[in-house]
């Protein structure tokens, strides 16, 4: 039936091609309409591929019970045969024949993972009746099945019609919709910046430790992969940890560093994985910072990454690490470890270095248990008053008051180290005095009155006479600076 005002392509009633009048489902023959062209899906797809140079798009399934994208190195070529292990043709075998080198794919891991985990490219097959593929990117933040299923633009995906299979077609629009989801969760971030370089020499200039100790620290980290810097407050543990990472990276690149701070309420669910409340109600299984750091390092295996844990002994370490006590050990790096939630597993890669900082002067903190201690090397961070680099700093400062205070603190540390109730782990650190080049007048008196004296009251809460003795010595040393306050 012809609509009113409709013309034929050729002007003849027996024409093979007809324009289609778009008027709505309830229009009758007298309703005027607009003429539009509609191509059958196969022809539409062919034209789109021609515009893209013949490129197609695919959804590639991996069964994590058999293999996972996560265990394959970026850039490694793998293949799927057109037949299963039992010799039967896989579902939709034509997809295997249609996939050509240069096509793009979305890498999805089936149950129990049920997440998009990788992006990649179809490559030349190693042999007939196979499809070759290469993972180009492992996702740090994976895309859940529920998020894909909820997107109306993906409702007609071939995968959703019957997900039992290995290789499914995607339209260009479907691929780009999924890519938008991926990039929202995994932004490319800032474009390649020219990072400020950072060397061993710069570290030794900034951090007052001897060169031989720095070399030992780097060697320990390379050998064990896990190191804890331990010492009293003020010895520069946190300051040193980040700069240690920079020095190994040879640049100030914070994108390769993840930092967390443990506390008494910090849990496995924060660190690894757990159910978290959602804004719209209900709970969602959410990966913690350590898992995301592992994904990031795993997706970039030729680079080094660092996970820094401040106040590591403030948390319940067995509760926080759980089964990862084994996974972080060097001999188990690179192997999948089942997690406590959702039948998921995690690989802790060998290029992720863990640096913890431990406060030795807090009596309220528990001693690290031997199971965790065995997985780490421990490095004592001591006051640097006797190092050459700190001596150079004092020389540059040329401040007699600072010189006198440092002399008193060095004597004070001898007394602290000899005290049976305290010991070397309670000595006063040098970082209290490292703000001199940017300090305001009176800063030394403020350090003495509001940092050091309260610390001594805490140390000798049961021996006030000793505390008062040392507080007076500090006051006498800083007396001349008070006139500048």
Q: Residues 69, 107: contact at Cβ < 8 Å?
A: yes
Average pLDDT over residues 178-185: 93
Q: Residues 227, 356: contact at Cβ < 8 Å?
A: yes
pLDDT confidence tier of residue 365, bands split at 50, 70 and 90? low
Identify which of 38-52, 186-200, 269-283, 430-444 has the greatest average pLDDT.
269-283
Average pLDDT over residues 337-357: 89
Q: What is the pTM of this model?
A: 0.74
> What is the chain's length?
485
pLDDT of residue 82: 84
Average pLDDT over residues 390-405: 90
pLDDT of residue 16: 46
Q: Would you give the distance in Å from CA 210 to the centre of its chain?
A: 31
230 forms beta bridges with: 358, 380
User: Helices in 299-365 by DSSP H: which ranges?
Assistant: 317-321, 324-327
pLDDT confidence tier of residue 201, bands split at 50, 70 and 90? very high
CA 321 → CA 248, 262, 328, 351, 371, distances in Å? 26, 11, 9, 19, 11
Between 370 and 11, the higher pLDDT residue: 370
pLDDT of residue 120: 93
Question: Mean pLDDT over all residues of the chain?
Answer: 84
Which residue matches tokens 């804004």? Answer: 279
Question: What is the phi/psi pair of residue 95, to 5°?
Answer: -60, -35
Q: Residues 63, 110: contact at Cβ < 8 Å?
A: yes
pLDDT of residue 485: 46
Other Cβ atoms closer than 10 A to 203: 20
Reply yes or no on whether the pLDDT at 364 is more than 70: no
Q: Rounded to an integer, what distance in angstroms lies between the CA atom of residue 66 and that of residue 108?
A: 13
Reply yes or no on whether the pLDDT at 190 is more than 50: no
Average pLDDT over residues 415-444: 86
What tens digit of pLDDT does each residue of 126-139 get?
A: 788 788 999 999 89
pLDDT of residue 49: 53
Contacts of 468 (CB under 8 A, 6+ apart): none
Between 367 and 478, the higher pLDDT residue: 478
Average pLDDT over residues 293-306: 92
What tens digit of pLDDT does each residue of 143-173 get?
A: 999 899 999 999 999 999 888 888 999 999 9
Among candidates 128, 158, 155, which has minimal Cα distance to 60?
158
Average pLDDT over residues 260-278: 91
Which residue matches tokens 């010991």? Answer: 423
Among candidates 48, 56, 168, which has minimal Cα distance to 103?
56
Q: Residues 256, 249: contact at Cβ < 8 Å?
A: yes
Share of the chain above pLDDT 70, in %: 83
């Amino acid at each position: 039936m012809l609509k009113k005002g409709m013309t034929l392509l050729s002007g003849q009633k027996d024409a093979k091609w007809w324009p289609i009048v778009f008027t709505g489902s309830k229009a009758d023959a007298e309703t005027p309409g607009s003429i539009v062209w509609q191509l059958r899906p196969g022809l539409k797809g062919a034209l789109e591929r021609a515009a893209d140079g013949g490129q197609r798009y695919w959804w590639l399934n991996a069964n994590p019970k058999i293999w996972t994208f996560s265990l394959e190195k970026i850039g490694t070529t793998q293949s799927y045969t057109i037949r299963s292990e039992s010799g039967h043709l896989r579902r939709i075998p034509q997809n295997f024949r249609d996939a050509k080198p240069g096509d793009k794919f979305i890498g999805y891991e089936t149950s129990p993972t049920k997440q998009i985990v990788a992006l990649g490219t179809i490559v030349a097959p190693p042999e007939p009746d196979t499809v070759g593929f290469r993972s180009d990117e492992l996702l740090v933040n994976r895309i859940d099945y529920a998020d894909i299923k909820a997107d109306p633009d993906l409702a007609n995906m071939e995968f959703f019609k019957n997900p039992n299979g290995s290789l499914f077609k995607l339209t260009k629009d479907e691929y780009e919709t999924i890519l938008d989801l991926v990039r929202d969760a995994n932004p490319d971030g800032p474009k390649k910046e020219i990072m400020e370089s950072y060397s061993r020499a710069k570290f030794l200039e900034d951090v007052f430790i001897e060169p031989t100790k720095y070399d030992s620290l780097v060697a320990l980290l390379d050998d064990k992969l896990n190191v804890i810097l331990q010492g009293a407050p003020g010895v520069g543990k946190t300051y040193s940890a980040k700069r240690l990472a920079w020095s190994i990276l040879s640049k100030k690149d914070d994108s390769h560093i993840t930092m967390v701070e443990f506390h008494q309420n910090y849990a496995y669910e924060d660190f690894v994985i757990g159910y978290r409340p959602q804004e719209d109600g209900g709970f969602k299984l959410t990966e913690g910072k350590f898992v995301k750091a592992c994904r990031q390092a795993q997706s970039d295996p030729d680079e080094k990454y660092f996970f820094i844990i401040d106040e590591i002994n403030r948390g319940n370490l067995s509760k926080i690490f759980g089964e990862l006590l084994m996974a972080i050990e060097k001999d188990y790096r690179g192997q999948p470890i089942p997690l406590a939630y959702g039948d998921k597993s995690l690989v802790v890669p060998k290029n992720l270095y863990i640096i913890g900082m431990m406060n030795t002067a807090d009596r309220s903190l528990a001693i690290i248990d031997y199971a965790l201690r065995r997985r780490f090397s421990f490095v004592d961070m001591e006051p640097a008053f006797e190092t050459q680099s700190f001596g150079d700093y004092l020389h540059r400062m040329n401040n007699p008051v600072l010189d006198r205070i440092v002399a008193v603190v060095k004597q004070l540390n001898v007394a602290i180290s000899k005290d049976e109730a305290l010991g070397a782990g309670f000595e006063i650190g040098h970082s209290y005095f490292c703000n001199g080049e940017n300090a305001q007048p009176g800063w030394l008196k403020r350090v003495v009155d509001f940092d050091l004296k309260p610390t001594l009251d805490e140390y000798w809460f049961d021996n006030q006479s000793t505390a008062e003795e040392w507080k007076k010595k500090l006051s006498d040393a800083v007396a001349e600076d008070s006139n500048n306050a």
